[in-house]
Structure 1
């Protein structure tokens, strides 16, 4: 990829850990006229993973609520061409577009040592990876450590270990994205931003699998 600014993030591509350089300035995706999203402004967000956005190394399963990483994946030439599909990074979006409200969902992690969970603008460039630009906000796990990431800036998260299941709390109007320790019922870290455009649940995966759980109510007594 051509580059205009270096980045410090490390990610995994095609089964190998590599340092990368971001794509050239942020680009928008022009959707086909037929594309439609469900829009959510309430509190019980229900979504599935959107195959049309999934990188060719990702397979969806369990009625599109789970995703598994394939080391080799599919030959990109054998995947249906779609401007919504991530081209270089193992990322997939949820099929819900969020324009307001307070929402909560959970993610079960299986056999993964490198993943990211969070939200991104629906029109985020499909040449970028979630967390590396100013249109995505994620919590990630790599090298046995948690971190928060946006615009390629990494902030360590030290109050949570390698959990098999974590929660994500989004308050659109308050501009808060929180990582939730389910057992302790507390937000262990929050990313704050003034969200201006519709958001989608976003996931990056470079080994193992993730299973999403949506349509959930926020846990009672959640602190932080």
Structure 2
């Protein structure tokens, strides 16, 4: 299985929740937890697992399908259940939820990996492509000790000091925004713009190590 490389074909209220009405009377909640303040709308809460039906044969799912590990040799593709949703040439896996609107936030923990991609892709994206190489996917990637944003096979460097072991992803469907979030600040390190018209899936590419997803989270307060 080919690796894409950089130029791929490549007041202190711990534990308390306070509800209020936002403009437009949508009920939201503010949660204080371990010194971090979050804000969320319950109607936009996104909970997902990874979809084994989409996983390339070199990827194994674990921890109740919330994590994925790369196997260098992987499985013989002929031994994997054949279905049209599975990625055939690239080590990519989608989440099992389709997003058609709203503002959503999730986080990713990466271990022992020097090459990965995280972001979103159209649910019907070609399974012969890699996330980031087509106009139907938007991702943040890490390779050769550098971060980049990528869509339609075009890369933009992302200035980020060192390699983060855990990062956040913010998606605002209507605004056409995908943000890479430094969860320690918290702040958006880099934002991508797109025209999201069809259902999107959280998408992940992994070429070594392992990756664990954290969904159903509240959005850190102050992200624009």
Q: TM-score, normalised by structure 1?
A: 0.82
User: Does residue 1:109 correspond to 2:100, yes or no?
Assistant: no
Instruction: Describe the superposition over 1:162-205 as per-residue Cα deviations: whole angstroms up to 9, x where unpaired.
Output: 00100000000000000000001000000001101000000000
User: Does residue 1:12 correspond to 2:7, yes or no?
Assistant: no
* Residue 131 (structure 1) aligns with: 132
User: Which runs of 4 or more aligned residues in structure 1 lie more than 2 Å from their structure 2 counterparts after TM superposition?
Assistant: 17-22
Instruction: Describe the superposition over 1:48-68 as per-residue Cα deviations: whole angstroms up to 9, x where unpaired.
Output: 000000000000000000000
* Residue 79 (structure 2) aligns with: 78
Instruction: Report the CA distance between 1:220 and its aligned residue.
Output: 1.7
Distance 1:105 1:193, change over 3 A: same
Q: CA RMSD of the aligned region, Å?
A: 1.7
* Residue 55 (structure 2) aligns with: 54
Structure 1, unmatched stretches of 5+, are 1-10, 23-40
3-state DSSP class of the match of 2:147?
A: strand
Larger-Rg structure: 2
* Residue 189 (structure 1) aligns with: 190
Q: TM-score, normalised by structure 2?
A: 0.82
Structural mapping, 1:69-218, within 5 Å: 69-218=70-219
Structure 2, unmatched stretches of 5+, are 11-41
Contact preservation (8 Å) 2:8, 2:133: no
Contact preservation (8 Å) 1:12, 1:18: no
Looking at structure 1, the residues matched to 169 and 128 of structure 2 have their Cα atoms a distance apart, in angstroms, of 25
Looking at structure 1, the residues matched to 87 and 121 of structure 2 have their Cα atoms a distance apart, in angstroms, of 13
- The count of aligned residue pairs is 192
